[in-house]
Amino acid sequence: MLAYLLLALAIGAEVTATISLKLSEGFSKVGPSILVVVGYVVAFVALSQVLKAGLPIGVAYAIWAAAGVALVAIIGVVFLKEPVNAAMIAGLALVIGGVVLIEVGSAQ
């Protein structure tokens, strides 16, 4: 259970850092730039603790990466008014489906 809580922290920190990267405007804005650095440090420290707690690296990385991609895409569309189309939605569904298959495969 601790591994999944740490994984959620890693995902949240990575998403925060990635969105802040966009908002930093090429590191020209100090506040978002600080969030980029802090967010990525927290994300990787938390992810390292997830692996130390025993979650298989393939499963941990798949969940971390896919959740990050999906959340950043959703935040981009909803809050940053970025465009979305059917192909992008299908791609996100495939990414999520791939993670589910990795999780199922690792349980066998």
Predicted local distance difference test score (pLDDT) of residue 99: 87
Q: Tens of pLDDT along the chain (108 residues)?
A: 899 999 999 999 999 999 999 999 999 999 999 999 999 999 999 999 999 999 999 889 989 999 999 999 999 999 999 999 999 999 999 988 988 888 888 877
Distance (Å, rounded) from C-alpha 3 to C-alpha 104?
17
Predicted local distance difference test score (pLDDT) of residue 29: 98
Whole-structure pTM value: 0.90
Distance (Å, rounded) from C-alpha 71 to C-alpha 86?
17
Predicted local distance difference test score (pLDDT) of residue 38: 98
Predicted local distance difference test score (pLDDT) of residue 4: 95
Predicted local distance difference test score (pLDDT) of residue 102: 86
Predicted local distance difference test score (pLDDT) of residue 100: 87
Distance (Å, rounded) from C-alpha 46 to C-alpha 30?
24
Distance (Å, rounded) from C-alpha 100 to C-alpha 94?
10
What radius of gyration, in Å, describes the C-alpha atoms of the chain? 15
Give the HSE-up count for residue 5: Cα atoms under 13 Å, Cβ half-sphere: 2
